[in-house]
């Protein structure tokens, strides 16, 4: 480098050095200082937990750190955990392993034509339009009975009884004389023939009004022989349901001596509740099951809806016509009626198993993402079969939990999540300190396992959290996988919850050795820590 070039560059180098030195002393361009500042900016801020939840997923929270009866630390829950990515609060978070163990299954909310089923008690009666009474229209005596028992089957035209009547004999004689007179006066004057013909017609009308058959009348007119008795025949094929006729008895005009019912078609009289009448229409198909034949289903149609309501039972009779060609259905039988009523338009529905009903509110678990569930309060409508109409609270296509939702309730902090509907998370955390856990721990011996019924029999020791003494009792299994590591006869430590009143469900079970120390109950452990 030339001397001239060196003279030009040297002042610039000195100037840069002075600036760097000044910056060093001012602390503005020190590389170490810059790294420390960047490191300070990158340090995350300290988060404060809202509360601490049970590490085993039991519905137990604490406002301060603590350990469970097995020595595991409670898991802190921060504000970020209480809010999902789209800002939804009160989510339930369950690990993927526990979701798989519980057998959680979801189904999308869908619109369907909801078919509602109406069930009612009914009784079988004879068709009143196919019931006939046999009542003589003259006074007489019963000479002979051809059918002499109630319940006897008869055919149309079959002889029932023979009756003797002086009036009948007199009427037959008058007609025979008049008929003979008409034939004898064929060559007489027109006026004489007309008078005799009118007398014969009057006698004939009298016999017909007394139900004398045309064959008997023709025989009487031809031969003139008067029959002493008149045979009464069945007007239809059916069953004799009433019989008052006795051999030799006297009867008066209008006495009902027999009643014959045609049972080829019967009536089923169902009593429908007042709120269901508006859904039923004449012609609707009905399924009928008789108590005498529970394995058979008979099909009929609604023929008439009575215009009155029973003020005592608030029910309305509905008449159903039912074919009975086999004769199995008999008047007086009891039956169960099922009417399927189709909806007018598709409605939003969910499986009924998806609903958690506490009595005061109905909640479903909506799957926001794998392992994250949002409890959603819903308003329900009609229920048909295994599906229920949803009026408010859900949208079409949202996935809801339809299996193991009650186990998510027991195994997760669902009660705390539901509390977000009515109070802030920190208020729920404060209240959790005084809430008693619904999960219980015990030890004992596994006596029997019934995998098909998901039931185990355990001879357990005292359960202090419930005040139970040592006993042997049956428990239901939350999932068959709970018993995968144990066998009958093993000493075990297990946890269980109360799913419903008097229904105890084992959520976890582990084998223990005879020398293992007994685990303290939840209440005793709480006293030791405090």
Using alpha carbons, select from 254, 250, 256, 290 the residue that is nearest to residue 270.
Answer: 290
Count the alpha carbons within 13 Å of 262 in the hemisphere toward its beta carbon: 14
Q: How far is CA 236 from the centre of its chain?
A: 44
Q: How do strand 503-511 and strand 471-477 relate by DSSP bridges?
A: parallel
Indicate the DSSP class of residue 264.
S
Contact 70, 398 (CB under 8 A): no
180-198 b/e with 16+ CB inside 10 Å = b? ebbeeeeeeeeeeeeebee
Contact 182, 204 (CB under 8 A): no
pTM equals: 0.48
The tens place of each residue's pLDDT in the chain, 530 residues long, gives: 444 343 443 343 333 343 333 333 333 444 444 444 444 444 455 667 777 777 665 657 787 888 877 777 887 876 655 444 333 445 677 777 777 777 888 899 998 887 778 889 999 999 999 999 999 988 999 999 999 999 999 999 999 999 998 888 888 888 878 777 777 777 777 777 787 778 878 888 888 888 787 777 777 766 667 788 888 999 999 999 999 999 999 999 999 999 999 999 999 999 999 888 888 889 889 999 998 898 899 999 999 999 999 999 999 999 999 999 888 999 999 999 998 887 677 889 999 888 888 777 888 989 888 888 888 889 988 777 788 889 988 989 999 998 876 666 655 544 444 444 444 444 444 443 333 345 788 999 999 888 777 889 999 999 888 888 888 899 988 888 788 888 888 999 998 888 776 788 888 898 987 654 444 444 433 333 33
């Amino acid at each position: 480098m030339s001397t001239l070039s060196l003279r030009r560059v040297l002042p610039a180098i000195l100037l840069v050095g002075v600036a760097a030195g000044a910056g060093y002393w001012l602390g503005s361009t020190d590389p170490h200082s810059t790294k420390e500042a960047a490191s300070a900016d990158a340090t995350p801020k300290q988060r404060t937990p809202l509360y601490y939840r049970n590490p085993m997923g039991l519905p137990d929270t604490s406002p301060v750190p603590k350990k469970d009866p097995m020595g595991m630390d409670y898991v802190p829950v921060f504000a970020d955990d209480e809010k999902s990515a789209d800002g939804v609060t009160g989510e339930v978070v369950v690990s993927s392993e526990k979701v798989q163990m519980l057998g959680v299954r979801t189904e999308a909310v869908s619109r369907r034509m909801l078919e509602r089923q109406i069930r009612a008690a009914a009784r079988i009666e004879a068709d009143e339009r196919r019931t006939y009474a046999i009542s003589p229209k003259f006074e007489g005596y019963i000479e002979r009975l051809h059918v002499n028992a109630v319940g006897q089957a008869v055919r149309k035209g079959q002889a029932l009884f023979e009756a003797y009547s002086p009036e009948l004999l007199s009427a037959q004689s008058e007609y025979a004389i008049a008929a003979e007179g008409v034939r004898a006066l064929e060559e007489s004057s027109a006026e004489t023939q007309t008078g005799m013909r009118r007398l014969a017609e009057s006698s004939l009308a009298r016999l017909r009004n007394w139900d004398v058959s045309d064959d008997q009348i023709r025989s009487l007119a031809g031969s003139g022989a008067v029959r002493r008795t008149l045979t009464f025949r069945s007007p239809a094929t059916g069953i004799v349901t009433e019989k008052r006729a006795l051999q030799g008895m006297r009867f008066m005009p209008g006495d009902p001596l027999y009643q014959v019912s045609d049972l080829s078609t019967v009536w089923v009289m169902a009593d429908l509740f007042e709120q269901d009448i508006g859904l039923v229409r004449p012609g609707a198909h009905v399924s009928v099951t008789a108590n005498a034949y529970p394995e058979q289903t008979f099909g009929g149609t609604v023929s008439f809806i009575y215009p009155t309501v029973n003020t005592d039972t608030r029910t309305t009779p509905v008449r159903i016509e039912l074919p009975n060609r086999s004769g199995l259905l008999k008047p007086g039988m009891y039956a169960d009626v099922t009417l399927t009523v189709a909806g007018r338009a598709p409605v939003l529905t969910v499986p009924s198993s998806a609903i958690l009903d506490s009595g005061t509110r109905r909640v479903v678990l909506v799957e926001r993402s794998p392992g994250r569930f949002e409890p959603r309060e819903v308003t329900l409508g009609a229920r048909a079969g295994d599906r229920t109409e949803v009026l408010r609270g859900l949208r079409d296509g949202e996935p809801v939990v339809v299996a193991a939702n009650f186990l998510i309730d027991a195994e997760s902090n669902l009660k705390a999540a539901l509390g977000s509907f009515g109070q802030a998370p920190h208020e729920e955390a404060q209240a959790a300190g005084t809430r008693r856990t619904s999960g219980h721990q015990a030890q004992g011996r596994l006596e029997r396992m019934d995998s098909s019924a998901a039931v185990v029999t355990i001879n357990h020791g005292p359960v202090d959290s419930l005040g139970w003494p040592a006993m042997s009792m049956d428990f239901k299994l939350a999932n068959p996988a709970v018993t995968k590591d144990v066998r009958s006869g093993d000493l075990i430590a297990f946890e269980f919850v109360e799913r419903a009143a008097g229904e105890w469900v084992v959520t976890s079970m582990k084998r223990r050795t005879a020398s293992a120390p007994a685990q303290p109950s939840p209440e005793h452990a709480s006293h030791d820590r405090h």
